[in-house]
């Protein structure tokens, strides 16, 4: 699939270190320590509706990590997927009497536009599930051959992963089994389905059904891929057996990232699959998680059409810590717009306090598990000083502008 077009990222003077990030598996902040090339896989959209501010917040979070690694002098190999075949897409297309392919292509195109407007650095590889089906089916066959998967004997041709084949299953989410069962039922799993060896076993391959699209699975028979193996296959194919960061919203901690890690670890024997499992908080509206299924959405494209500056949206989303579940409100946007105007005015000031001092403070807070509230406070203070003619560093306004462009993705 085509990725989107990026913008130039300014380089900054001095040295930076790779960020420390919270890892859901270890439940602690730990240094990221990429060797050579930093590798990141982020779970992207299921394109059955437009990009909302929750998606935007998650994409911005991983964009910051990408920016910090680059600033630390690393090369970054970033892969993001598009779940362009799955139940929700087929259900929405059927509801609206639309071709599911047309729906997926339209919403994916809109997502790319939104990402460009938000100045998200494009991934090197933007990959759909459909184009990955041969690789996915190959991995399902490998798991069957290894005895880590089984076909249900109810004639459907559905293949499940046996979590008993993954001795460490549960290490990523750290959840008790009862909670896993509840979440699995809520998030696309089927713990009550008869014939499974373990209620938590996730689907790897869904045998063909009347009225549903199906692809050749070789010995698996015709069908379509399960969700978790999609991300495993794409990541293994493009990034290798282990990666530095596996990312997404915290709604993916269980079952999605637990299962995709378990698939990968059984397939390759390498563990942990990801050195860091990084999860962004949920953006809510009116007290509920923003989600396509609930319909309580604020679309990035709607805000753009209303003339809202995408940089103000970015600042609004950065005003909370990425790991905190938080609300999007009109006020969050208003504060973002006011801050953007103030920063732009300050960037045009003749001088300000030390630009190098500001850069060092921004780097330090971002490297500390992306502490953007602290960063905004530091830049606010610098702007306040520059606007009140405090400080005599004439090169500082330009460096301040480069710093927030390169590290926060905010073009002034
Ligand atoms: N295609 C799968 C991942 S493989 C999926 O979860 N798609 S999605 O369209 O539902 O979400 C796309 C990304 O946005 C995921 O990383 C998801 O965790 C994140 N996300 C979804 N809703 C929100 C929200 N309200 N706030 C923050 N992030 C969200
Ligand atoms: Zn995923």
pLDDT digits (tens, 9 = 90+) for 53-105: 999 999 999 999 999 999 999 999 999 999 999 999 999 999 999 999 999 99
Check pLDDT > 90 for residue 291.
no
Peptide bond into 272 cis (omega under 30): yes
Helix-strand-coil split of the chain, %, nearest 5: 45, 15, 40
Task: Report the first-to-last Cα separation within the chain, whole angstroms.
Answer: 31
Q: Output the CA torsion sign for 58, 59, 60, 63.
A: positive
- Per-residue confidence band for 167, with pLDDT thresholds at 50, 70 and 90: very high
Given this model, what pLDDT does residue 393 score?
98
Tell me the pairing of strands 28-31 and 20-23.
antiparallel
Question: Is the CB–ligand 1 distance for residue 248 below 6 Å?
Answer: yes
- Per-residue confidence band for 327, with pLDDT thresholds at 50, 70 and 90: very high
**Average pLDDT, stretch 21-42?**
96
Question: Is the CB–ligand 1 distance for residue 262 below 6 Å?
Answer: no
**Average pLDDT, stretch 116-143?**
98
Q: Which ligand is nearest to the CA of 264?
A: 2
Question: Is the CB–ligand 1 distance for residue 233 below 6 Å?
Answer: no
Is-contact 60 409, C-beta < 8 A?
yes
- Per-residue confidence band for 35, with pLDDT thresholds at 50, 70 and 90: confident
Given this model, what pLDDT does residue 288 score?
78
Check pLDDT > 80 for residue 297.
yes
**Average pLDDT, stretch 245-261?**
98
Check pLDDT > 90 for residue 343.
yes
Check pLDDT > 90 for residue 290.
no
| Separation in Å, CA 68 to CA 51, 100, 209, 320 | 25, 37, 46, 18
Question: Is the CB–ligand 1 distance for residue 130 below 6 Å?
Answer: no
Q: Which atom of ligand 1 is nearest to the CA of 248?
A: 16
Question: Is the CB–ligand 1 distance for residue 289 below 6 Å?
Answer: yes
How many A from CA of 44 to the centre of ligand 2? 7
- Per-residue confidence band for 285, with pLDDT thresholds at 50, 70 and 90: confident
How many A from CA of 320 to the centre of ligand 1? 18
Question: Is the CB–ligand 1 distance for residue 159 below 6 Å?
Answer: no
Q: Which ligand is nearest to the CA of 41?
A: 2
State both tokens at 188: 């696309």
How many A from CA of 410 to the centre of ligand 2? 27
More confident residue, 32 or 50: 32
pTM above 0.95, yes or no: yes
Q: What is the mean pLDDT of the chain?
A: 97
**Average pLDDT, stretch 366-383?**
98
Q: Which of 380, 65, 10 is nearest to 247 (CA)?
A: 65
Tens-digit pLDDT profile for residues 113-127: 999 999 999 999 999
The torsion region of residue 201 among left (phi > 0), alpha (psi -120 to 50) and beta comes to beta
Backbone Cα Rg of the chain? 22
Q: Which ligand is nearest to the CA of 249?
A: 1
How many A from CA of 135 to the centre of ligand 2? 15
HSE value, Cβ hemisphere, 13 Å, CA-based, for 51:
26
Given this model, what pLDDT does residue 198 score?
98
Q: Which ligand is nearest to the CA of 83?
A: 1
Check pLDDT > 80 for residue 244.
yes
Question: Is the CB–ligand 1 distance for residue 352 below 6 Å?
Answer: no
Question: Is the CB–ligand 1 distance for residue 83 below 6 Å?
Answer: yes
Given this model, what pLDDT does residue 6 score?
97
* Percent of the chain clearing pLDDT 70 (strictly above): 100
**Average pLDDT, stretch 338-355?**
98
Is-contact 331 87, C-beta < 8 A?
no
State both tokens at 208: 């063909």
């Amino acid at each position: 699939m085509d990725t989107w077009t990026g913008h130039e990222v300014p380089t900054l003077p001095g040295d930076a270190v790779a960020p420390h990030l919270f890892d859901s598996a270890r439940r602690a902040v730990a240094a990221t320590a990429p060797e050579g090339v930093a590798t990141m896989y982020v779970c992207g959209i299921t394109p059955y509706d437009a990009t909302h501010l929750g998606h935007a917040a998650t994409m911005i979070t991983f964009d910051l990590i990408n920016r910090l690694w680059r600033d630390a002098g690393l090369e970054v190999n970033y892969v993001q997927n598009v779940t362009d075949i799955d139940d929700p897409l087929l259900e929405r297309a059927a509801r609206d009497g639309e071709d599911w392919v047309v729906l997926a292509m339209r919403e994916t195109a809109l997502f790319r536009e939104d990402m460009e407007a938000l100045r998200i650095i494009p991934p090197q590889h933007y990959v759909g599930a459909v184009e990955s089906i041969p690789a996915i089916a190959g991995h399902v066959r490998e798991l069957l051959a290894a005895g880590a998967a089984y076909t249900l004997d109810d004639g459907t041709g559905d293949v499940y992963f046996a979590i008993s084949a993954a001795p460490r299953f549960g290490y990523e989410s750290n959840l008790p089994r009862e909670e896993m069962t509840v979440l699995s039922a809520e998030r696309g799993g089927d713990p009550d389905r008869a014939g499974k060896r373990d209620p938590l076993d996730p689907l790897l391959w869904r045998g063909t059904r009347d009225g549903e699209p199906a692809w050749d699975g070789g010995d698996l028979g015709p069908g379509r891929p399960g969700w978790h193996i999609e991300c495993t296959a794409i990541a293994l194919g493009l990034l290798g057996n282990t990666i530095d960061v596996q990312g997404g919203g915290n709604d993916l901690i269980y079952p999605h990232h637990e299962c995709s890690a378990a698939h990968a670890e059984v397939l390759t024997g390498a563990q942990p699959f990801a050195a860091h499992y990084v999860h962004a908080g949920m953006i809510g509206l009116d007290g509920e998680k923003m989600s396509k299924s609930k319909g309580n959405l604020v679309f990035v494209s709607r805000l753009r059409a209303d003339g809202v500056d995408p940089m103000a949206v970015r600042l609004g989303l950065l005003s909370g810590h990425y790991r905190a579940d938080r609300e999007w409100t009109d006020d969050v946007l208003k504060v973002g717009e006011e801050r953007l105007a103030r920063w732009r005015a300050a960037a045009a000031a003749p001088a300000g306090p030390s630009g190098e001092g500001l850069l060092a403070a921004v780097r330090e807070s971002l490297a500390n598990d992306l502490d953007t509230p602290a960063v905004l406070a530091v830049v606010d203070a610098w702007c306040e000083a520059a606007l009140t003619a405090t400080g005599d560093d004439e090169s500082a306004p330009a460096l301040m502008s480069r710093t927030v462009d390169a590290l926060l993705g905010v073009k002034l």
